[in-house]
Structure 1
Amino acid sequence: MADGKAPLPFVYTFMAGAIAGVSEILVMYPLDVVKTRVQLQPAGATGADAYTGMVDCFQKIVRNEGFSRLYRGITAPILMEAPKRATKFAANDKWGKLWRDLFGQEKMTQSLSVLTGASAGATEAFVVVPFELVKIRLQDKASAGKYSGMTDVIVKTVRNEGILAMYNGLESTLWRHILWNAGYFGCIFQVRELIPKASTKKGQTINDIIAGSVGGTVGTILNTPLDVVKSRIQNSPKVPGQVPKYNWAFPGVATVAREEGFAALYKGFVPKVLRLGPGGGILLVVYTGMMDFFRNMREAKLA
């Protein structure tokens, strides 16, 4: 991400993104579990086990399944977060340079930031789809007893549905990541332009928290409908001779809106935005801090 500082080799950008991603997932993962449970709950679900909202879902998971269930499936996200976030920031940096050169711009602009973020999101999506599929199937309440862990999900999915099933939901994941990253990086650029420049390290951290949190919130507002559909696509096993109810992104959005109402497209929005709003701030702060650390370390070696 262009920040006006001396550029670093690709490996440093990749490492900084990886560390930022793992830091964010360790702090915010339980909200992701709650978000997925709410998204997968059928319309009109009733009974003692039905979730009435985010807090109710959180309480019932802890009470009925134990606190550790809030970290169910975290192996896949942990393994995913390093390459995912590393790809996000590294691709954003590379795409930014490409688009600036292509359009003859010396510095980033608002429109280039949005375009760069969208390009980075599309690149990131190809990395994360198999991990996301494993995570979704482990987080689903109905998976209790069905899968013993990450490896079991992979083995059973490939054996029963074929190797290409690991990329179920690729198209919806592409749209989800394009929209989130376009909003995230576009907002970071705009917020940084609007707020006073920091003169201290503490001030820079506060600015990054603000910019990253606003970016994460806007990105979440933009991409939640595609996230709802993606969760359903990836949790629907492929059956030979049958066309899945949820198969493509925008037809899936139309199906959910028609059958369950527009509000259903924002199922799980509260835990999702609570995770990815502050989570976006954590990402940016840790990424910026690691880039500064690597930059200082490299300058010290060259001195």
Structure 2
Amino acid sequence: MQRERKPLPFGYQFAAGAFAGVTEICVFYPLDEVKTRMQLDTGKSQGLFQTFRNIMAHEGVGRLYKGLVPPLLLEAPKRAVKFAANDFWGKTYMSMSDTKTMTQSLSFLTGCSAGASESFVVVPFELVKVKLQDKSTIFKRPLEVVRHIIKTDGVLGLYQGMESTFWRQVWWNGGYFASIFQIRAQLPKAETPQAQLMNNFISGSIGGCIGTMLNTPFDVVKSRIQGHNHIPGVIPKYRWTYPSLYVIFREEGAMALYKGFVPKVLRLAPGGGVLLLVVEATLSFFRNALGEPYI
């Protein structure tokens, strides 16, 4: 029987998560740029490849990485909140259920609650990113966006789209963590470190796909709300999540709720796998470096 390894201190787990998150962002960020462009388009949406070609032909390859700084700056506080929230909500729900074992339903609740907690940190960074990614943006740097928002709408203006971001994070995290819990249980037991890494990649990729299927409509609404430029005296067309879902469905059809789904799933499905892969590989490196009793 395999001896249970001692959990690594929080600092090492946090560092592994942050490093994995930065790796995932740098590799897949151009897909996020394309996704946002497609979601902000209220007309007939162009496909993934056409949007890529248009950006590179008219704005240059570098435009695919515009708005990269906010997600990179977000990664550390986001990971800290995610780890702390997952730990807190997981223990809370297991205590309430009088069980010491995590189940799929508890994993779903834990993921949703962690996503809700995470949303309060995510919103300002997402808002700045969307403003920079917009095709018609007048901003060149993140600080320009922040100064403009504070000058126009005050500090609370940085939380434009809070409610829609809340729902986006809730549904993605709930779907992702509930899925990987179930998928890991169904995969063959890993007998080698390489097999364990493959299991993590498979479960993370499928979990990322399911989370994306659940939260894309909410992401479309979030992009529309955050992409809106405030005009005094004019009521925004998109204000609250669920009424906005109905407006998009009524005016553009059901498929419009999944605008940007292809680049989003191409990023978050393998991205979810890469995330788990890098986390586990980094934790394994830390364990080997620290030696007993962690290995």
Work out whether residues 130 and 167 of structure 1, in 8 Å CA contact, stay in contact via their aligned partners in 2: yes
C-alpha distance 16-93 of structure 1, shift in aligned 2 (>3 A): farther
SS in 1 for 2:136: helix
What is the aligned length? 292
> What does residue 223 of structure 2 align with?
231
1:214 to 2:206 alignment: yes
Residue from 73, 81, 87 that aligns with 2:81: 87
1:301, distance to aligned residue in structure 2 (A): 8.5
> What does residue 245 of structure 1 align with?
237
- Cα-Cα RMSD: 1.8
Q: Deviations over 1:46-67 (max 9, x none)?
A: xxxxx62100000111111110
Q: Deviations over 1:121-173 (max 9, x none)?
A: 11111111000000001001000xx1121000000111112211100011110
The letter of the residue matching 2:101 is K
Work out whether residues 17 and 87 of structure 1, in 8 Å CA contact, stay in contact via their aligned partners in 2: no
Q: Deviations over 1:263-300 (max 9, x none)?
A: 10000000000000000001111122223333444444
Identical-residue share of aligned pairs (%) = 54
> What does residue 118 of structure 2 align with?
124
Residue from 144, 153, 158 that aligns with 1:152: 144
> What does residue 48 of structure 1 align with?
none
The letter of the residue matching 2:62 is S
Deviates more, 1:78-87 or 1:124-133: 78-87
C-alpha distance 302-181 of structure 1, shift in aligned 2 (>3 A): closer
Structure 1 gap ranges (5+):
45-50
1:19, distance to aligned residue in structure 2 (A): 1.1
Residue from 170, 179, 182 that aligns with 2:162: 170
> What does residue 32 of structure 1 align with?
32
1:78 to 2:72 alignment: yes
> What does residue 132 of structure 2 align with?
138
Structure 2 gap ranges (5+):
none
Pairing of 1:55-74 with structure 2 (within 5 A): 55-74=49-68
> What does residue 103 of structure 1 align with?
97
TM-score, normalised via structure 1 length: 0.91
> What does residue 115 of structure 1 align with?
109
1:221, distance to aligned residue in structure 2 (A): 0.1
C-alpha distance 302-38 of structure 1, shift in aligned 2 (>3 A): closer
Work out whether residues 248 and 257 of structure 2, in 8 Å CA contact, stay in contact via their aligned partners in 1: yes
Separation in 2 of the partners of 1:34 and 1:83? 25
Work out whether residues 14 and 90 of structure 1, in 8 Å CA contact, stay in contact via their aligned partners in 2: no
> What does residue 262 of structure 1 align with?
254
1:82, distance to aligned residue in structure 2 (A): 2.6
1:119, distance to aligned residue in structure 2 (A): 1.0
Separation in 2 of the partners of 1:265 and 1:238? 23
> What does residue 202 of structure 1 align with?
194
